[in-house]
Chain A
Amino acid sequence: MTGHHPDDASRPDYDDAELDELLATAMDGILAKLEAGFDPDTGLADIYARCAAAPAPSIPGHAPGPRSHLPAAGPAAATARAG
């Protein structure tokens, strides 16, 4: 993934592909265990319940990029949902 130069003595020696495979295998296993039995319909119902319980966040209208029109989810909104 990161492409090491064989002559670069400052870097540790390892096989990128082996590391990537090991990490992917482990994360796949972790996610499979965490997501076992998860029901998307229950997840969607939870989202709609959170929306019903919280005030609508303020959204800037005509922002040019994805970062600039992120909703203003301040501590007040989070507190309202937590309660």
Chain B
Amino acid sequence: VSEVGFEDVYRAERSGLVRFVISLGASQHEADDAVQEAFALAYTAWDTIREPRAWLHAVAMRQYYRADARTRETPIGDRLAGYAEPLNSGDIAVFNDLEQRVRDAVAALPARQRQVRALTVAGFTAAQIARQLGCDQAAVRQNQVRGHDNLARQLGIDRRHPK
């Protein structure tokens, strides 16, 4: 494994990936863990990965959903026994009013709109998003528009200069 290339990609892409997973609805700990898992898997396959950025986003999303599903299926007592110390173990962040409203609005989106929005913000084209999600581009564009409309409605954004 070429650690130099891998570590360069880690330093360049990690923050964006954390942002991406949080945009899917993850907590800080969930996002950290999904991203670290994605990079760990990438490291073991590094020489075979042709598009690291797309690969990492796909795997981080999958890791988050798998961990989320396991959490829902695990009894609370067992969860405590398997609890891992957060990687970024400092104080829990306190968000201002706008940040909390945006988090709540994103969390309230239907899952598909959230996925499309997160991938759009991460810079992927409609074609790339369609490939990632296994749907067609028309569905991607429809979810982009609906997600945007839903967020605007929830955040109380009014059109100021529509003409």
Contact = CB atoms under 8 A, between A and B. Distances in A.
Interface of A: 1-2, 4, 6, 11-16, 18-19, 22-23, 25-27, 29-31, 33-38, 40, 42-44, 46-48, 50-51, 54, 56-57, 59, 61, 65-67, 69-71, 73, 75, 78, 81-82
B37 A50 contact: yes
A2 B44 contact: no
Given A47-B36, A67-B132, A16 B94 contact: no
Given A15-B160, A51-B40, A70-B59, A37 B10 contact: no
A14 B152 contact: yes
Interface residues of B, number: 65
B96 A35 contact: no
Given A2-B148, A25-B98, A33-B94, 15 more contacts: A6-B162, A14-B152, A29-B98, A34-B22, A34-B28, A37-B88, A42-B87, A47-B40, A59-B45, A69-B45, A69-B48, A69-B50, A70-B58, A78-B70, A82-B84
Given A12-B153, A14-B158, A43 B41 contact: no
Contacts of B162: 4, 6, 13, 15
B47 to A, nearest CB: 9
A82 B82 contact: yes
B37 A73 contact: yes
Nearest to B22: A30
